[in-house]
Amino acid sequence: MNDPRAVPQAAADFDAVIVGAGFAGLYMLHRLREAGFTARVFEAGDGVGGTWYWNRYPGARCDIESVDYSYSFSPELEQEWQWTERYPRQPEILAYLNHVADRFDLRRDIRLETRVTVAHFDDAAGVWRIETDRGDRCTARYCVMATGCLSAPKVPDLPGVERFAGATYLTGAWPHHEVDFTGLRVGVIGTGSTAIQVIPQVARQAKHLTVFQRTANFSVPARNGPLPVAEQQRVKAGYRERREVSRRSLFGIPVAMPDAPRRTRDIPPAELSASLEALWAQGGAMSLLAAAPDILMDPEANARVADFVRDKIRATVKNPAVADLLCPTTHPLGTKRLCLDTEYYETYNRDNVTLVDLRATPIDTLTEHGLRTTVQDYPLDALIFATGFDAMTGALAAIDIRGRAGHRLRDDWADGPHTYLGLASAGFPNLFLITGPQSPSVFTNMVASIEQHVEWIADCLDYLRAHRIARIEASENAQADWVAHTAAIANSTLMPQADSWYVGANVPGKPRVFTPYLGGLGPYRQRCDQVAAQGYAGFELTPAPITA
Ligand code: NA7
């Protein structure tokens, strides 16, 4: 007898369309093909790599160590690839991803220079209808958004920008050729993670560099350097265990979850200072955060570490007035992304670098010859916008996504994203998000989070095929509970206090919602596994009709 709940399932061009060919899209394609599904990837860039394709600015580097910021799914890949530095540079990560595309023969299913503009769910046929800016039209049973969390760059709407006669650069869409700033007067707008990488590099080349700072940020030295072969071999010998610790950890790095975290206020001041000094000397942002386990919960704990970093800034920057400006005062440490740098603060000791405080003297306009604040003209030959991204939702909002009964994702999310586990959204059957809003994503090593999502999605599609399920859709109730749970965790921390891109504060008009899931990758993985083990609890599954 036919199941009365059964829904149509017309033939489709592909089992899945995947949007984006960065870390997420490449692995999703590989995993689906391995499981016997057909898939097509559409990628806007003319090469694979996602974030690492676009962000080619000088100094671009990952803030997670190379040996961890890499795929774990293939032990052979793990063993054969050689990293050269503790923290990988953009060209090296891009080369790695190109190697992955070749090694797993992924390119034949990837269409480059093709941006997905439309993804509509056809209720009657039970397929997604996809359109691209090249006029492609195709259907797929599933649509997987591998669009990235930081992939929609944001240029501020500054008056006079069209008048500026010099060259302008956007860090998130950097030219593919080398840019030479030798002999030029260069301006950088922004002092986030990106600017903190770009500024020391450009300062070495430019005749003069003017940094326009609106908000000072906390930054920790990377202590980057070559990765000795012996050290890499040691990691490779113990990779399985290292990866396992990362998979169960809070941040997706090989630091085990503490059994009974100590409160910072219980740590004697001398012991805390000694451990902070040691971590500062060793370098790395995540480990500094781990030094005070309640740093994101307890204002007093936070202040102790923040004071330590401010003291370091003052000890490094020779001009006390400049040092003062560089000391963050607007937010607790870690509530904006804690930056990782190489000689960032030292750069302000150079004679050819000027720091401008945009809070005291805001930008008035760009002119033909430079930038004018409310008090002064700064002549510039080139201007770099290191002004960030419409994070977490920007790339999804740029696509016309419509689900069941014409639901528009943009409308449904007008008051902030609504997802179940950051993987799916009610009203959008057979649509999956990789590292979507309300998943751990940017609060972890992205590659570890991507692998967890990709594997969960691939297993899910396998289950649906085996059980002849035509549609999977997040239930409204499960979604509401998940959104509330995500918000409750965020609100129990200091995180929402900062005007960060985590809350969308950097995009005028964006609803203020704390978007990443802060419960940690390990616990989140357990929850996702539990959902799957319970036959996809919290999802509505609709069978396909039995055909003779
Ligand atoms: P961020 O962290 O969003 O930083 C952007 C910077 O640009 C930040 O200092 C902003 O100041 C500044 N900004 C943005 N708009 C303006 C205007 N209109 N005027 C002056 N200054 C402005 O982006 P990043 O690219 O550095 O880093 C994003 C993530 O990529 C990073 O966290 C890593 O995860 C990788 P504000 O703080 O808003 O006052």
Assess whether pLDDT exceeds 70 at residue 510.
yes
- What's the CA-to-centroid distance between 189 and ligand 1, angstroms? 9
pLDDT, mean of residues 320-339 = 97
pLDDT exceeds cutoff 60 at 548:
no
- pLDDT tens for each residue of 460-477: 999 999 999 999 999 999
Q: What does the pLDDT average to over 196-222?
A: 98
- Hey, which of 506, 507, 510 would you mutate to test ligand 1's pocket, going by the most ligand atoms within 8 Å of its Cβ? 506
What integer best gives the mean pLDDT of the chain?
Answer: 96
Give distance in angstroms: CA of 112 to centre of ligand 1. Answer: 29
Characterize 44-70 residue by residue with b for buried, 16 or more Cβ atoms within 10 angstroms of its Cβ, and e for exposed.
bbebbbbbbbbbbbbbbbbbbbbbbbb
**What pLDDT shows up at residue 2?**
67
Q: How close is the Cα of 154 to the center of ligand 1, in Å?
A: 9
Residue nearest to atom 23 of ligand 1 (CA): 388
Two tokens at 301?
Answer: 């704990």
Evaluate: CB of 358 within 6 angstroms of ligand 1: yes
Asked if 242 and 72 count as a contact pair (C-beta separation under 8 A), the reply is: no
Q: Is the CB of 335 under 6 A from ligand 1?
A: no
pLDDT (average), residues 144-152: 97
Taking the whole predicted model, whether its pTM rises above 0.95 is answered as yes
**Is the CB of 505 within 6 Å of ligand 1?**
no
69-85: average pLDDT? 97
Confidence band, pLDDT 50/70/90 cuts, at residue 399: very high
| C-alpha 353 – ligand 1 centre gap (Å) | 20
Distance 174 CA to ligand 1 centre (A): 16
Among protein residues, the one whose CA lies closest to atom 3 of ligand 1: 388
| DSSP H or E segment with residue 19 | strand 14-19
Residue that is written with structure tokens 């969390």 in the block: 149
Distance from the alpha carbon of residue 452 to the mean position of ligand 1, in angstroms: 28
Q: Which atom of ligand 1 is nearest to the CA of 363?
A: 19
Q: Answer yes or no: is pLDDT of 255 > 90.
A: no
pLDDT score at 241: 97
Sign of CA dihedral 367, 368, 371, 372: negative
Q: Which residues contact 203 (CB under 8 A, 6 or more apart)?
A: 209, 347, 350, 352, 353
> Residue 174 pLDDT more than 90?
yes
**For the segment 401-458, what is each residue's pLDDT rounded down to a tens digit?**
999 999 999 999 999 999 999 999 999 999 999 999 999 999 999 999 999 999 999 9
> Ligand 1 in contact with 445 (CB < 6 A)?
no
For the stretch 127-145, pLDDT in tens is 999 999 999 999 999 999 9
The whole-number pLDDT of residue 238 equals 97
Cα(75) to centroid of ligand 1, in Å?
A: 37
Report how far residue 403's alpha carbon sits from residue 413's, in angstroms, rounded to the nearest whole number.
13
Cβ 156 under 6 angstroms from ligand 1:
yes
Reported as a single tens digit per residue, the pLDDT across 8-56 is: 788 999 999 999 999 999 999 999 999 999 999 999 999 999 999 999 9
Distance 39 CA to ligand 1 centre (A): 35
